[in-house]
Amino acid sequence: MISDIGIIKSLVENGEGLTVEFKESRISLNKDVYDTVCAFLNRHGGTILLGVDDNKNIVGVDKDCVQAIKETFVTTVNNPQKINPPTYLSVDPVEIDGKTVLHIYVPESSQVHRCGAKIFDRNEDGDLDITNNTDMVSRLYQRKQSSYSENKIFPYTGLEDIELSLLAKCRKTATIRRGDHPWKDMDDMDLLQSAQLYQIDRETGKSGLTLAGILLLGKHASVLSAVPHHRTDLILRKVNLDRYDDRDLVEVNLVESYDRILAFIAKHLPDPFYLEGTTNISLRDTIFREVASNILIHREYMNAFPAKLIIEKGLVRTENSNRPHGMGIINPASFTPYPKNPVIARFFRQIGLADELGSGVRNLMKYGKAYGGENPELIEGDIFKIIIKVPEFGGGKDSGDSAGQGTKLALSRHQVKILEMCLTESSISDLMSIEGRSDRTKFRNQVLKPLITAGLLEMTEPDKPTSSKQKYRATEKGKERLTTYRY
């Protein structure tokens, strides 16, 4: 999570409220900080600032205590004896006027949480203990159940309905990302319960996987049994506009769906060379990781509308069913993130397939213009839509990045490798071996032809394009172009 100093200062200036809480916490955590975490989880989420007193003074957290406070907080919110169900939150240090403020963002949860044995709700700028108020507790449970379909319990489902090898892979990924991750020492059922993917219906006493659990990790038959209409339709439509040029109908669980979406994107969109500072990053992968996680996490799965990702000439657009909290084009400057499926989102974050709530919009805006020349559009409504302009393979325009480095964006990294290999004459077989291509016709049309048309590559037998003796070499223009690329 990256905290903006301006936003933090604005929160301090506006003071405490329904979604903002200050804790002085100079050398240790205030004991009631976990009451606030519980209240925010149960209400609308919110921001906790450690190092700010009740009078809006930034007093700062003692620098020698920062690490201990962070570790204590993260460990405690992961402990079901303190916060139940446990949650996974991060603590982000921010330096303001030489003082350290610890920023904690608590998203709204789709569950009802307890702190110790108590249930807290948020009321104005305070945490309200509602444990013994049966009416308020009942309304809280009803609100959560009616707002979040991901919590629907499927009685009598269990480990036999999920892909256990995929669950093991997710555990391994989470523990590689964080060595002390609580999943490390849990058995399969404990992990599912910890991640809120297996629950007990408090009205009937029946237990089972939730819709979130089946969607995330379920076997194919289990997913379609729970949600028969579930699918993500991936379409390439550039030549045959009435139908499609390529299509992948994805009906598997969400973790596997994520990989299928990115594979389809990699197959049909270029990955232009791009420098951020002195680091080469993949614009395509950075952008479409956010897109893939968005259409999987923020979908209303009770709606039969099929999610779509459509690649057209010069753009990609997505559509998925939605419970809107506004209408029209999202303004990133005033955008307030709202968790549509908090349990699914939290699981995706643990395995590195998503970042903190709201960061996806920021990343799309940050890199979208560099990739396709225009800012992406995100349109809120009953159908949530994303429109992203994209370059074509071998496109001829150059575009500078936001840092003003003048990085050219026309070539994919694959094409850069081709040019490098063609500094000496190379056969088509040699060139295809770079990334294991097997279809010569597609390789000529999609990779070599754009380079030749741009004057960066030439044939040794120009009058016999398909000659068995044909080789390719970089032109002087191509050699000059390579000098702009640094790995």
- Name every residue whose Cβ is closer than 8 Å to that of residue 143 and which is 6 or more positions away in sequence: none
Q: What is the pTM of this model?
A: 0.59
Lowest mean pLDDT among 21-30, 45-54, 181-190, 433-442: 433-442
Q: Is the dihedral of CA 431, 434, 440, 441 positive or negative?
A: negative
- In this prediction, residues 143-161 reach a mean pLDDT of 84
Please state the rounded mean pLDDT for residues 75-79: 88
Question: Stretch 130-152: mean pLDDT, rounded?
Answer: 82
User: Which residue would you say has higher pLDDT here, 145 or 295?
Assistant: 295
Instruction: At 303, list the tokens.
Output: 């709606």
- Which pLDDT band, with edges at 50, 70 and 90, does 147 fall under? low
pLDDT at 408: 39
Cβ-based neighbour number of residue 442 at 10 Å: 11
The two structure tokens encoding residue 457: 């590559």
The residue-averaged pLDDT of 297-306 equals 87
Nearest to 23 by CA among 91, 83, 89, 85: 91
Q: What is the dotted CATH code of the domain comprising 413-482?
A: 1.10.10.10
Tell me the pLDDT band of 115, cut-offs 50, 70 and 90: very high
Q: What is the mean pLDDT of the chain?
A: 85
Q: Please report, for residues 159, 161, 195, 314, the alpha-carbon distance to residue 198 in angstroms, rounded to integers and kept in the order given.
A: 10, 12, 8, 43
| Residue 380 Cα to chain centre, angstroms | 18
* pLDDT of amino acid 191: 95
Q: What is the pLDDT of residue 401?
A: 37
What DSSP character marks residue 127?
A: E
List the domain boundaries for the chain.
1-147, 148-227, 232-389, 413-482
Residue 378 · residue 329 · CB < 8 Å: yes
What is the pLDDT, as a whole number, of residue 3?
53
Q: If DSSP codes are grouped into helix, strand and coil, which group holds residue 33? A: helix
Architecture of domain 1-147 in CATH?
A: 2-Layer Sandwich (3.30)
Return the higher-pLDDT residue of 212 and 239: 212
Q: Does the pLDDT of residue 480 top 70, yes or no?
A: yes
Task: DSSP for 75-125, please give it.
Answer: HHHT-TTTEES------EEEEETTEEEEEEEEPPPSS--EETTB-EEEETT
Higher pLDDT, 122 or 417: 122
Q: Pairing mode, if any, of strands 457-459 and 246-250?
A: unpaired
Which top CATH class is 232-389? alpha beta
Average pLDDT of the residues in 95-120:
89
pLDDT level of residue 485 (50, 70, 90 thresholds) = low
Q: Please write the tens of the pLDDT for every residue from 388-442.
A: 999 987 554 443 333 333 333 356 677 788 888 899 999 998 888 876 777 888 7
CA distances in angstroms from 487 to 296, 346, 413, listed in the order given: 33, 34, 10
Q: How far apart are CA 119 and CA 124, in angstroms?
A: 16
The pLDDT tens digits of the residues spanning 240-289 come to 888 899 999 999 999 999 999 999 999 999 988 888 777 778 899 999 99
Length of the chain, please? Answer: 487
What's the pLDDT tens digit per position in 313-347?
999 999 998 877 667 787 776 666 666 788 999 89
User: Distance between terminal CA atoms of the chain?
Assistant: 28
Among candidate residues 470, 357, 429, the one with its CA nearest the CA of residue 106? 357
Dist CA 92 CA 359 (whole Å): 14
Q: Which residues of 52-72 are buried (b: 16+ CB within 10 A; e: fewer)?
A: beeeeebbbbbeebbeebbee
Q: Are 127 and 35 in contact (CB under 8 A)?
A: yes
